[in-house]
Amino acid sequence: MNHEHENNETLQVGIEEKLSIGANLTYGFQHLLALTGIFLFPVLIGQALNLEFQTIGYLIQACFLTTGLVTILQSGKMLRLPVVQGPTAAFFVAVLSASASVGLGTAFGSMAVAGIIFMLLALPIRKFGLIGHINKFIAPPIVYGTLLIIIGAQLADIGLKNWFGSANMGVNFAASIITVGCVLAFMIFGGNTILRRGALLWGIIAGTLFFAVFGSVDFSAVATAGWFRLPEIFPFGFGVSIPVVILMLLAFLQASAEAVGMYTLLTKWGKQELDSTRVNRGLFGEFLGCTLGAVFGGLGTTSYPENIGIVRVSGIGSRYVTMTAGIMAVILGLIPKVGLFIASLPSAVLSAASTILFGIIAISGIQMVSKVKWDELNLAVAGSSFIISLGTMYLPAELTAGLPLAIQSVVTQPMLVGVVMLIVLNTVVNVWIRPVLERRASANGSQDSIPTEAA
């Protein structure tokens, strides 16, 4: 998103304005099309863990349910903003890495425990909600912008190499090319319409149709599935691992930083106040919904920049529209046929679409850090965090194998190393050291004082 003139713009439909049922459904559906993580992350986890179609389908259902629950809470009394939330790359990476070593049951059990911890830290009661009071440490663009770049670069490892599949490589690759070509075409020529906002979805449809003609697509599991299924409590079993809880805590921390950034934008556009109490209410609602979602087997969520972009471009800021999107997501989460249909899509097509998504995540981070004043201090914060965190992907196996699981789970994940380094370095350099240097320069009458804009 380009926020160059964001402060001068007003919403055509205000945050508290109500629209007709038809308008709510139409604009709400637009928001669902932007939630590409629902269509991609559960399938990629399932493919990596060699899960059955039925299990992948349930994962997708649980992600729809989690998305709906959190979005309803955010649009309702908790935050009262047009926020749509969906599965985030941070939780995708955390669940994928944890499940590979301890299983899905322990991954989601540990996510639920981490969610409860963050709920306690964000209690919407004055003096008790700590997260809202440390907003300045986790929300600056240099923190969450650089982190998105790190995540995008980390996810590149599971993108392009999966375009070819293990059999029928020619058909797989051709379907991937068609998918990417269609996505790019809709993004470039779709204008401010549903064509552009659903570009990834339309690309997946085009690639699947090509694959159905020249390859083979099996939707038999969809035909035999039922039309209604209630979510299960810890469907993959329950377990808790301290190292995985730490992993999930860091994922929640990243989600918090991104969510607060989105709250800030929306309140500016809607000309509303965003104090620490409101931040705590929003984050408490997010953590509550994510905790319930983890109990049902769904990935944790955060605010999607794409959905904030839809609000900005359309001018429709009504929170009742996003609440409608949340209700629609809950309904889809109760229909097994929906999850199994998505799970049956060709893996090469989904990998191609995910490659574009991962690129968008990285470039969204670049857009965010464009607001940072890049002096030597900020270069030190972002540069060292970026290169060191990505370097963890190349640590010697003989070194990491000898580390305790708790340490190994953190130091081998660029996203987790990145979020810790960025928050710590930004706090030390920009919150503590920068003011000291500025006062010293001012006292010495220097004309070369450190810039005052600490991103």
Of 128 and 374, the one with more pLDDT: 374
Cα distance between residue 160 and residue 351, in whole Å: 7
> In 347-445, which residue ranges form alpha helices assigned H by DSSP?
347-369, 376-391, 397-400, 405-411, 414-426, 434-443
Structural contact between residues 412 and 392, judged by C-beta atoms closer than 8 angstroms: yes
> Under 8 Å CB-to-CB from 160, ≥6 apart: which residues?
351, 355
Helix 347-369 crosses helix 141-155 at what angle (to 10 degrees)?
160
Helix 36-48 crosses helix 347-369 at what angle (to 10 degrees)?
120
Structural contact between residues 229 and 239, judged by C-beta atoms closer than 8 angstroms: no
Q: State yes or no: pLDDT of 226 exceeds 50.
A: yes
Cα distance between residue 55 and residue 59, in whole Å: 6
User: What mean pLDDT value characterizes the chain?
Assistant: 82
Predicted local confidence at residue 353, as pLDDT: 81
Cα distance between residue 399 and residue 391, in whole Å: 14
Phi, psi of 85 (to 5 degrees): -115, 150
Q: State yes or no: pLDDT of 1 exceeds 60.
A: no
Tokens coding 203: 């690309």
Q: What is the mean pLDDT of residues 132-155?
A: 76
Q: What is the mean pLDDT of residues 181-191?
A: 85
- Collapsing DSSP to helix, strand or coil, 86 comes out as strand
142-172: burial string, b at 16+ Cβ within 10 Å, e else: bbbbbbbbbbbbbbeebbeebbbbeebeebb
Predicted local confidence at residue 313, as pLDDT: 67
Q: What is the mean pLDDT of residues 277-302?
A: 89
Q: What is the mean pLDDT of residues 419-447?
A: 86
C-alpha atoms less than 13 angstroms from C-alpha of 59 in its C-beta half-sphere: 31
Q: State yes or no: pLDDT of 454 exceeds 50.
A: no
Cα distance between residue 452 and residue 322, in whole Å: 38
Predicted local confidence at residue 30, as pLDDT: 76
Tokens coding 101: 């070593």
Q: State yes or no: pLDDT of 434 exceeds 50.
A: yes
Of 262 and 33, the one with more pLDDT: 262
Which band of pLDDT confidence, cut at 50, 70 and 90, is reported for residue 406?
Answer: low
Beta bridge partners, 19, equal none
Q: State yes or no: pLDDT of 347 exceeds 60.
A: yes
Q: State yes or no: pLDDT of 8 exceeds 60.
A: no
Helix 21-33 crosses helix 319-332 at what angle (to 10 degrees)?
70
Predicted local confidence at residue 3, as pLDDT: 43
Cα distance between residue 84 and residue 42, in whole Å: 18
Of 93 and 113, the one with more pLDDT: 113
Q: What is the mean pLDDT of residues 213-236?
A: 80
Q: What is the mean pLDDT of residues 276-295?
A: 89
Which band of pLDDT confidence, cut at 50, 70 and 90, is reported for residue 223?
Answer: confident
Q: What is the mean pLDDT of residues 162-174?
A: 79
> What percentage of the chain reaches a pLDDT higher than 90?
19
**pTM (2 decimals)?**
0.76
Of 113 and 150, the one with more pLDDT: 113
Q: State yes or no: pLDDT of 41 exceeds 80.
A: yes
- Collapsing DSSP to helix, strand or coil, 13 comes out as strand
Predicted local confidence at residue 120, as pLDDT: 87
Phi, psi of 355 (to 5 degrees): -60, -45
Using CA atoms, how far residue 33 sits from 179, 181, 293, in Å, is: 16, 18, 20
Q: What is the mean pLDDT of residues 375-404?
A: 88
Cα distance between residue 66 and residue 58, in whole Å: 12
DSSP letter for each residue of 266-333:
HHHHTT----HHHHHHHHHHHHHHHHHHHHHT---EEE-HHHHHHHHHH-B--HHHHHHHHHHHHHHT
Nearest to 147 by CA among 64, 252, 254: 254
Predicted local confidence at residue 257, as pLDDT: 76
Which band of pLDDT confidence, cut at 50, 70 and 90, is reported for residue 4?
Answer: very low
Range with top average pLDDT, 3-7, 106-110, 239-243, 316-320: 106-110
Of 54 and 137, the one with more pLDDT: 54
Say if residue 386 is exposed, middle or buried (CB neighbours under 10 Å; 0-12, 13-18, 19+): buried
